[in-house]
Structure formats: structure tokens, C-alpha cells
A and B are shown apart, each in its own frame.
Chain A
Amino acid sequence: MALSDAIQLVDVARKATEAYGRPDLTAKLARTRDRLSDPSVRVLVVGEFKQGKSLLVNSLVSASVCPVDDDVATAVPTMVRHAAAPTAALVREPADGGEPERTEIPIGELAGHVSESGNPDNRQRISYAEVGLPRALLAGGLVLVDTPGVGGLGSAHGAATMAALAGADAVVLVSDAAQEYTKPELDFLATAMQVCPNVVAVLTKTDLYPAWRRIADLDRGHLAAAGVSTELIPISSAVRQLALRTKNKELNEESGYPVLISHLRDRVLGQAEQLARRSTGHDILSVCEQLTTTMSAELTAQENPEKAHELVARLEKARTAATRLKERTARWQVTLNDAIADLSSDVDHDLRDRLRTVMREAETLAEDADPADIWDQLAKWVQHQVTCAASANFVWASERSGALARRVAALFAEDGQVALPELPVATAGPAPRVAALERPDTRRISLGEAALTGMRGGYGGALMFFMPLSLIPGLAIAAPFAAVGGALLLGRKQIKEERQRALQRRQAEAKTLVRKHIDEVQFQVGKDSRDLLRRTHRTLRDHFTALADEMQTSIAESVAAAQGAVKATQAERGTRIGDLKVELDRVASLADRARALTAAS
């Protein structure tokens, strides 16, 4: 594994912390090691349906794991990751937020569960499927996620995809060479860039369309016009498949896949590795600094015992500062607590606001029509709007939490004074963990989905769809044809009045149902986002408190060591100085290696 050198270095550093009797630092490095040993890099394969997403994943891993069909095929997201032997499992996340349930299945049966034909509209309610394959490409930690294209990018699926994006390390946007980018695709891309900036555009089916070079140029133009700086890689899955079957190297080159693979390997995996290295380097460096603090304090005291008191006084001051950092009144603590409270109410308000708009519109819609005719559409529309609202709310909340983490980190560094290494927050410290709110969120989406049984919606259009239909019963301007019918209805006023009462009852019922649904969603989503923020709060607090603890321990030990130095005899002092210098050299060389790790990437 490419990160083995980083893991080795962490182990060395851990031994050192054990030797110097600093269990707090040992624990910290243990966490670093855990993070390193799970180097998953999630790459989301997204795009409109029938663009060749599943075939792309299949061709990448040279196995037929995702179902491919002339008709719409993929119904359930499929995660393809590395495993020693081929495995497949279905994961269902219960609607009430309990433990996900995992069912191992033979890999051959996978298609029956994840395809639209075997599992129409995902009636089996599978959250996602997991496939393990022994492939060199995946061994580096690459996880490919094939997403259903159903519904298009603007639909509820698109919204759910957007939420999943927040936790993805990279996005592959798949579009075929039949036509240039459409507006929904570019809109999606623009939003995606805000959540996950690592996007690579892939142009598929270049074997089929003579004008693919023109389309590629047009697409590049659209990307540039949208301010998206990403590569556009043209590929042909058909050629790649043939190359795999015939083991023909030239054909493989021709398919364009090697370019995509090297991009995934160098840019996506490489970048993730780089981040992992950098954060590991920072962790080790921070440990080294803590160790050095103690030792160099002692060394100073040993070398100049007469100045020891002065040193102790300075250290005491630093200790007070470090202790203050741990207190609840420390600036970063206050900021964190206040900001979390603010954020919590902001996020809640934002959600309420969004949902209230949906409700108001839904009520207007229900008033304008006979719910008996339009309920299906209305329900779909509400469902979709709610999903979109929850998604947008989530994306916004995660952006704000990221900003908060950075602000707290800056305050901490300012007050901490102790030469902290560049805080890991910006790389792989708490911030990315905070950003990893995506998992609860996908569950949150599925919660909403469960509430309105298995309905799917499409934005805008559902509304538009709904409006003209809603006009058919009475108003003469709806459809030209309805106008004709409307003229006829004039003579039937009486019947209309008779029916009026029943209609009003239906409308009231529909409104109650919508309100109930939105209430429920608000309750669930609100609870989830409060939980998320609480987790964010706890993560940040624990992280910085632990840092303050480390600092305090280091300084306390420095004080003890400096005080001890005064009592020592001349001879003892000479030996101790020699020892300390050697130890400091050792730590310095460890720090050098950590720095090299950071720089090497």
C-alpha cells in the first residue's frame, strides 16, 4: 500500500511516545493510524440516465458488476471497493434510523436486486449495494459508487446525489457524445463544484458518434464558460470491453480508459493520499513538538541552573494559559458554544422556512384543484420539494459547520500561543470529519422517502405538471381543449354546486395530509440536523480540548523537569545533558521524517 511508509512512521512515533511516558500522545497517534488504515477514497459516478455510467464502472474494474441494459438499468447505488475475494452485499438502512442491516448475497444475484427490472422503483428498499473485487485499481482505497441515473439530475435522486456528494472525494460526471451538455447537467455541475470541487468530466460512447470531437470541444467551452476547470476525458466503453475480452493492449489505449484510470490514480487517489500524508505528518510533528517542549525546557534548566527559576516562572505562565484554554470561558470555547447554538437555530430556521414555502405552495395547489384528480402528482411534488429543501438545508449546514471549524481553530491557535503546527483542521483533522456529515444525511433523505412511500418526484415540472391538470375541472383557460369543455360546463352549474362540498372536504383532507407529512419530515430532519450539529460540536470540542490537554501535560512535565534540574548534581547534570541532546536529536530526526512525509506528497 502506498501509505505504508506513513503508517510505519506513525508506529515509530508511537513507540517514542510510549518510551517518554506520554499516553495522551500515544492515543492520539493511535487515532491517526486508524485513519490511515482505512484509506477509502469515494468516487461518485453521476450523470443523466442512459449515459453509460454502469458500463463505465464495469469497464473500469473489468467485471460485470453493475447491470447494463438498453432500458433504464440501475435502481440502487452500488459501491465497488477492494476485497481479497469477490463479495456482494445489500445494505438496508431502516427508516427509523436504527443499525443498517447487511445481507451477503452471491455476486451473481446482484443484478436482480439493483437493476430496475429486478427491483422496480427499488421496492426492496435497498439503501445501497456493496461489491468487493480483487482489483489492483481498487487496492489503493478507491471506492467507485455507481448511482442510478433515474429521474435525471434535477430530480429527487439528483438532490439525494447532491447530499451524497458532500462526503465524496471526487465526482465523475458522465455524459455521452450524442449531444453537448444540457442545462440540467451544467446546473448540477455548478452546484456539485461547491460541495465537492474534485470533478472529472467523462465523455462516453466516442465510438458511436462521428462528431464526438466537436461535442468534446463544445463541452469544454461550456465548462470554461461556467468557470469549471476540469479535464474532459473522452472514452469508449465498447472498445474497452473488447480490449478486455481480447486482451488487446492497443485497443485498450484506443478506448481512452488508461487516461481516465491514470487520472483517478494520480489526481484523485494521489490527492487523497497527499492529504492523508500531510495530516499524518502534521500529527507526528505536533507530537514531536510536545516532546521537544518538555525536553528542551529541561535541557535549558540543566545547562543554566541559575536561570531555572526564571524558566519555571515562564513555563508556569504558559501552563496557566494552557489551563485557561481548557476552561469553558476560553475564547474558542465560548465562540464554539455560541456559534453552535446560533448555527442550530439558523439551520432549524432555514429548514422551517424552506418547508413552510413548500407547504404554502402545496396548499395553494390543493385549493386550486380537486385533490382526487391530482393527489398522485401533488404527493410526488411535495415529496420532491421536501427532499430538495432538506438537501439544500444540509448542504448549507455543512458549509457553515466547516467555516465554524476553521474559525474555532484560528482562535485556538491565537490564544494557544504555543507554537502549534499548522492545525490539521484544514486537512484531515476534525473539519473533514465534520464534512462527513453526509452519511446521516443520506439516511435523512431516505427517511423522507419512507414517509411518502416510495414516491419519486421531479422538480419544477411536477409543479408545472400539476398546474394545468388542476385547471381542467373549471377554469376555461387551462388547456385549449379544456376551454371547449369549460364552455359546456356552464350549463351544469347545479351539479357543480352539489359537488362543491365534497370537493372542499377533499381539499381540506389533502391539506391536512400535506401538513402532517411536512410536520413529520420537519421533526425527523430537524432532529437529525440537531444531532449532526451536536456531533460537530462534540468533535470540535473534544479535538481542541485534547490539544489543550496535550499542551498542558507537556508544559507541566517541562516545569517538573526544570525544577528537577535545579536539584541535580554537577555530574548528574553532565550525563543528563548528554542524554537529553541525544533524545532531542532523535525526536528532531523523527520530525524531519514527518516533514519529509508532508513534503514528499
Chain B
Amino acid sequence: MSAPEGGSPALRDAVRTVLRQAVETYRDSPDALRWLRHHLDRYDEPLRLAIAGKVKAGKSTLLNALVGEAIAPTDAGECTRVVTWYQDGHAPAVTMYPHSGAPRPLRIARDDGALRIDMGVPAETVDRLEVTWPSASLRATTLIDTPGIASLSLDVSARSERFLAPEDAPSAADAVLYLMRHLHSADVRFLESFHDQGVARAAPVNTVAVLSRADEVGVGRVDALRSARVIAARYRADETLRAFCQTVVPVAGLLAVTGRTMRQDEYAALAELAAMPPDRLDALLLTVDRFAGADGDAGTALSTAVRAALLERFGMFGLRLSTTLIRQGVGDASTLAAELVQRSGLVELREVLASQFSQRRDVLKARSALIALDLVLRREPRPAAAPLAVEVERILAGAHEFAELRLLSDLRGRVLRPPKEQAAEAERLIGGDGGAPNQRLGLPPDADRDALRAAALDRLTAWRRRAESPLASRAMANAARVVVRSCEGILAGLH
């Protein structure tokens, strides 16, 4: 995607300037200074995307899928116990940040691809781990793996909560990917789990929910992902859920990570399996015990070790799907890998992440920075800081990006309740489905400039009328004015 899309240099500069001024103003207060410096640095760093969710929701697996490499350790039992940052860098390195004491580099060991990190100290004493890894996927976004909520070890849950919703400071993450396994729409615990997380502090504008482990929805049936899509669609339509996140995307994490890292020998093994007589293969794929059972009774030349490795990498669902695909004519490793990634829902998730987060990177970053600054201004008010407060308010009020975010949040949170169609259209026009002109106007990506212009003009007129309608309440008229300005912005972008 191109840089200026959704990016707003004016906003970026304004925020940086006010942060710098704040640093000057608070030069004599070491705490405030450290805090502001930290946020000034952070402002230029990549977007921080935290992956949160209940224990065993598949957070590390999804992280691996997004990176395209199996670097985060995964396990059948509870695995991630410390908040771990994954960021781009020239050479692999792991740094441990204890609660007290100086950061300490750790030795890197790789265990079949995944990093094996031996902290050497109890997890309770560690604030976070920072993994630097050369990866193009991490260049624009720093990924943060968090320990699961509702973990049996209370301490692990607490560490996540502290990270995602610190008591007194803005969250360390700019955006949150909330993973959940299959849940019930009428279930309040569903939302509660967000709050258990403390992700409540994340406004809907920076949260995307993922129906994770989507391959398990159908208990391993080959059509499981179709069911997962239906369920995700039901969640998306759920009003209560809309108040908490932008959208819900089903993703089969294991399938995605395996698809992205598939090797030729794995394909060969799968092809060999697919060549077995169908009834023999079905019997073999009935249970995990049968599939990874002893050599003699499996009816295949593949050794137990190979089969066990395949099972670990693909899962029952992945094996059933892959062999079915090969039977249906998928003839080589790269096609199969692409097919698996496509079916896993990862592609869709990346598109959503791009439209929701990457395009709004500047706004989200500015938001994090302004909240941090606001905290300092409230904690340590001083006469010299008064112009800063005015400036913060000017930026907040002046930047149309914030007006859009605020309106989006109000519409999603049902603070404003316009008629349903109007709400949907307003959300789209202010960038709820993505910031590109065609996304805002609900047109296909290949729509030409004239079509875009015509549509934008049409919407502009309609919303201008709504903004000026004497019947509209003040709040609704204000909302309509924001939409009008978004329409004008689209037109201006089209020249």
C-alpha cells in the first residue's frame, strides 16, 4: 500500500512537535521526561500490534503465521508465560527485561525452527522479552505475544493484564488482535473476556477479533472453514460485539503457518498418503493414534517419525484437507502451500490488518502518543504546560482523522443510533472498512476515477442534506458534518 494512504504528514508533524515541546517543558522532571522521551521514540517506531486472547487460543501460532516463520515457541500445554515482543532487526537477538535490574541479552537456541528461550530466572521476575529477528513481515509492525487470560496460573493472566491494560498508563500496544475460540453470541462472558483482558481499554477502532483455531470448529471435517466463516459472520453482525472490535475474521493458525513454511519433503509425504487407496487412507486418518501409530499396521511406507512430524505440522484437519486437495489435482508444493494459506483465512486477516491498522498507522500512533502526553499534563500540571494542553486539544479537535475515529467509535458503540442503513454507510464513508476511496465508497477496487468522483459527489450531497436538516438532532447533524468532510476529503484526493 502506498504511504500517504490514510497517512497524514500534517498530523504526524503536529504530534511530533507537541511531544518535543513537552520534552522541553518537563526537562526538570526526570519521570515525566523519561516517559515523554520513551513516547517520542515510540512515535517513530513501527506500529505495535498485540496479540491477546484466552489461554490456548492460538496466539503464538498466529504470530508465527503472520511472520511466516515458526519462531515463537508453541506447545500443547500452556506455553507463553512472559510478554514477548518480536521486532525487525539486522541480526537475531533476544533481550530480557527484568522488573529490576538492567536488560540482559540471552543466548539464542533454535529448536526445530522455534526459538528456545531459557531465561534462567523465574517468569515472575521478568517484565518482558524482546526478540529481534530479521523479517520483512516485522518491518512495518512489531508483534507482541501475550500470555493467555484465564490461565490456571493466575500470575500468567495478571502479567497479560498488566501489559494490555496497565492501571495508570496508556496501553503499550497501538492495536490489538483479539483471538477467541468459538463462543456464543448471546453470551456476555464473551464480551467479558475482552474485559477480563483489560482490552476494554482498547476502543473498537483499534481492535480486530479473530475466530482462531477455525479448523477445529467442524471437529476436523474438511468443510470446517466454511462453518467457521458462517460463525464469524454471525459474530460480525452481533451488535454487542461490534462495540468492541472492528470486525471478526476466522483464521486457522496452524494451517497458515504450515502453509507459509511448507517444505518439499512434506509435500512428497502428503502426495504419498494421497496415493493410498481411499478407504485405507480414511482409516489411517480416523484418529491421531492411528495416524502416528506403529509402522507395521499403518499400511504406508512412511515411517512413524515422519507421520508424527506431519501430524504436528498439519494437524488432523490439515492432513485431511491436504490429501483431499492433492487428490483433486493440486500437483506441487507451492500450489498446495498457497491453497492452504488461502483457505486458512490468513490472507483475509492480512487484508483486514492492512485496511484497519496499517492505513491508520499514523492516527493510531498519534492517538497513543497524545494519550501519553495527556497523562503527563494531568499528573504534573504546571503553568508552562498550559500551551501544550491547548495544542493537544487543537490537534484532537482539528484533525479530521480523529473526528472520523471518534464518530466510528460512537457509531460502533451505539452512542449514536442513526437508522441502520445510514449507520452502515456513514461507517464506510469515514473509513470503517478501509481508508482507500473505493473502500469508503463501497466500489470495487478497479473502479475508475470518474465513477469514484460521481459516487463521492452523490454521497456528499446526500450527507450535506442530512447535516443541514432541521429535523436532525445536534449530535446527528455533527456526525453528518464529519461524514461530509470525509466525502470532501475523498474528492480532494481524486483531484
A residues with CB within 8 A of B: 49-50, 52, 70-72, 116, 120-121, 150-152, 154-155, 178-184, 186, 205-212, 214-215, 218, 222, 236, 238-239, 242, 254, 373, 377, 380, 384, 456-462, 464-465, 468-469, 472, 476, 478-485, 487-488, 490
Question: Which stretch of B15-23, B102-110, B116-124, B223-231 is in the interface?
Answer: B223-231
B contact residues around A483 at 8 Å (CB)? 371, 374
**Chain A-chain B contacts (Cβ-Cβ < 8 Å), number:** 196
With known contacts A71-B234, A238-B219, A208–B316 Cβ distance under 8 A:
yes
Question: Which stretch of B183-191, B350-358, B442-450 is in the interface?
Answer: B183-191
- A450–B368 Cα gap in the complex (Å)? 45
From A153, which residue of chain B is reached at the shortest CB distance? B189
Q: Point out the residue from A71, A179, A461 that lies within 8 Å of B196, measured CB to CB.
A: A461
5 residue pairs, one from A and one from B, having the closest CB atoms: A461-B192, A211-B76, A481-B203, A458-B189, A458-B188
From B195, which residue of chain A is reached at the shortest CB distance? A464
Q: Point out the residue from A239, A476, A478 that lies within 8 Å of B287, measured CB to CB.
A: A239
By the criterion CB–CB under 8 Å, are B200 and A488 in contact? no
By the criterion CB–CB under 8 Å, are B409 and A481 in contact? yes
A409 CB, min distance to chain B CBs, angstroms: 41
Question: Which stretch of B33-41, B44-52, B392-400, B452-460 is in the interface?
Answer: B392-400
For chain B residues 203-232, which have a beta carbon within 8 Å of chain A? Answer: 203, 205-206, 213, 216-220, 224, 227-228, 230-231
By the criterion CB–CB under 8 Å, are A214 and B287 in contact? no
With known contacts A70-B218, A180-B78, A182-B55, A481–B367 Cβ distance under 8 A:
yes
Query: Mind listing 17 A-B residue pairs with CB under 8 Å?
Result: A49-B183, A72-B182, A181-B152, A184-B150, A207-B220, A207-B316, A214-B77, A254-B289, A458-B187, A459-B189, A461-B188, A462-B188, A468-B200, A468-B201, A469-B413, A480-B201, A484-B367
- A70–B218 Cα gap in the complex (Å)? 5
For chain B residues 299-313, which have a beta carbon within 8 Å of chain A? Answer: 308, 311-312
By the criterion CB–CB under 8 Å, are A464 and B196 in contact? yes
B residues with CB within 8 A of A: 54-56, 76-78, 150-152, 154, 157, 170-171, 181-184, 186-196, 200-203, 205-206, 213, 216-220, 224, 227-228, 230-231, 234, 286-289, 292, 308, 311-312, 315-317, 367-368, 370-371, 374, 378, 392-393, 396-397, 402, 405-406, 409, 413-415
Q: Point out the residue from B171, B220, B393 that lies within 8 Å of A480, measured CB to CB.
A: B171
By the criterion CB–CB under 8 Å, are A178 and B213 in contact? yes
With known contacts A183-B152, A373-B415, A485-B406, A209–B192 Cβ distance under 8 A:
no
By the criterion CB–CB under 8 Å, are A155 and B187 in contact? yes
By the criterion CB–CB under 8 Å, are A468 and B286 in contact? no
B contact residues around A182 at 8 Å (CB)? 54-55, 150-152
With known contacts A71-B234, A207-B288, A207-B316, A481–B405 Cβ distance under 8 A:
yes
From A482, which residue of chain B is reached at the shortest CB distance? B203
- A181–B151 Cα gap in the complex (Å)? 9
Which has the most chain B C-beta neighbours within 10 Å: A206, A380, A480, A488? Answer: A480
B contact residues around A70 at 8 Å (CB)? 217-219, 224, 227-228, 230-231
By the criterion CB–CB under 8 Å, are B287 and A236 in contact? yes
- A181–B77 Cα gap in the complex (Å)? 10
By the criterion CB–CB under 8 Å, are A208 and B374 in contact? no
With known contacts A206-B288, A456-B186, A481-B409, A488–B397 Cβ distance under 8 A:
yes
Q: Point out the residue from A238, A457, A487 that lies within 8 Å of B188, measured CB to CB.
A: A457
Q: Point out the residue from A151, A183, A214, A479 that lies within 8 Å of B187, measured CB to CB.
A: A151
By the criterion CB–CB under 8 Å, are A487 and B392 in contact? yes
By the criterion CB–CB under 8 Å, are B367 and A480 in contact? yes
Q: With A465-B192, A480-B202, A484-B396 given, can you name 20 additional A-B contacts, CB distance below 8 Å?
A: A70-B219, A70-B227, A116-B184, A120-B186, A180-B152, A181-B152, A206-B287, A206-B289, A208-B316, A210-B76, A210-B315, A215-B76, A236-B287, A238-B286, A242-B286, A254-B287, A465-B195, A480-B201, A484-B367, A485-B406
With known contacts A70-B231, A465-B200, A384–B56 Cβ distance under 8 A:
no
Q: Point out the residue from B77, B230, B367, B397 that lies within 8 Å of A180, measured CB to CB.
A: B77
By the criterion CB–CB under 8 Å, are A186 and B184 in contact? no
- A487–B370 Cα gap in the complex (Å)? 11
